[in-house]
A = this chain, B = another copy of it.
Amino acid sequence: MKRRRVLQLGAVLGGGLLRAGELGRPLGPYGERSPFEKAVRWRRESKTPEAGSSFTPLADSYGILTPSALHYERHHGGVPAIDPARHRLILQGMVERPLILTVGEIKRLPSVSRIYVVECGGNSGGEWGAKTAPDVQRSHGLVSCSEWTGVPLKLLFEEVGVRAGASWIIAEGADAGRVQRSIPIAKAMDDMLLAYGQNGEALRPEQGYPLRLIVPGWEGATHIKWLQRIVVADQPYQSRDETSKYTDLMPDGKARQFTFVMEAKSVVTFPSGGQTLPGPGLYELTGLAWSGRGRIERVEVTSDGGRSWQAAQLQEPRLRLAWVRFRLPWRWDGKETVIASRSIDETGYVQPSREALTAVRGTNSGFHYNGIKLWKVGADGRVTNVEA
């Protein structure tokens, strides 16, 4: 509050600062945001925008929830227009009693709601490269956080009766790509949800309306959208999206497969690439931290290029597998510096530096990058990507 302006009360009352009271617009059935708000998902120009990604504007986010309208997208065959009255979910394979369910039948079952991050396995994949994205939306925007509502999958499996020897499920979407992913059945029996609700209403079409899987803490591609079938099996299917994609090419040329868990990660969203600080002074530095292994216990921030690290305030409640918003007062002296954050989760895992990560993983991979993200603040207040 450096640029405080003391008031002459007469000037205020007589000077037209207070708004003239013209009649506003009436009550409405389903609201829209203000036309002055411009944040949108970003995507690369493409001749095939049905197969690609769009990125959540993290620098414009507040709190720990992503508006459904701005949840990141990753589609392999576009967004199907599904009539929920005609949609069915089939459970088959190594089960005693195969089952077809309508959406209405699913909604009648016991349900829970949980706030969870969903992160694409390829989020911040560009960071493996030499020249990375200029802002946090494009570098880290394939992650979002919502309240998801649905049926614990284990209830359905108890109903259909899993046969001895079953160890995997194969989930299939109703999109043009018929995306299929194999998931160990132990995860399904643990905390997976058959979700139909997001942020207080039905799933959005881009998020799998009317049904999707939620696989808490695991890479986004396993959270099959527009879910139409689950097959119980004794082995994975080796589908396209778990062989040609979503595997991690290691320095020795071999690929890691089924690396489901998204490791602890964090990123500073203010100040971040593309922003400009108006001048030296006091700011609140903020960002987001999350881990597929559980709860975030600590976030540390550097504002001197890594020489010293300071614990940030973590916003409560800190929910398992949800975002944690972190904040730290920061006085900028007007000199060039580098800022970054690193998160530590309940297992003690510490988000690694780029160097530590690439020493193990090499730079062949496109997936599961969770290195510390550096932003440079220039003497002119411009914030840029150190690596860009």
Contact = CB atoms under 8 A, between A and B. Distances in A.
A65 interface: yes
Given A90-B18, A201-B33, A113 B64 contact: yes
Interface string A1-41: 10111110100100001110111111111111111110111
Interface in A33-87: 33-37, 39-41, 43, 49-50, 52-54, 60-71, 73, 75, 77-85, 87
Residue from A30, A32, A87, A229 with most neighbouring chain B CB atoms (10 Å) = A30
Given A18-B90, A100-B5, A325-B113, A49 B24 contact: no
A177 interface: yes
A174 B228 CA distance: 50
Residue from A67, A83, A176 with most neighbouring chain B CB atoms (10 Å) = A67
Interface stretch (A202-210, A249-257, A359-367, A380-388): A202-210
Contact of A6 (B97, B178, B202): B97
**A interface, over-half SS:** loop
Given A32-B69, A37-B202, A65-B147, A327 B176 contact: no
Interface of A: 1, 3-7, 9, 12, 17-19, 21-37, 39-41, 43, 49-50, 52-54, 60-71, 73, 75, 77-85, 87-88, 90, 92, 97-101, 105, 108-113, 147-149, 159, 174-178, 196-202, 204-206, 209-210, 226, 228-229, 283-284, 286, 315, 317, 319, 325, 327, 329
User: What 3 A-B pairs are tightest by C-beta distance, nearest first?
Assistant: A24-B78, A62-B197, A63-B113
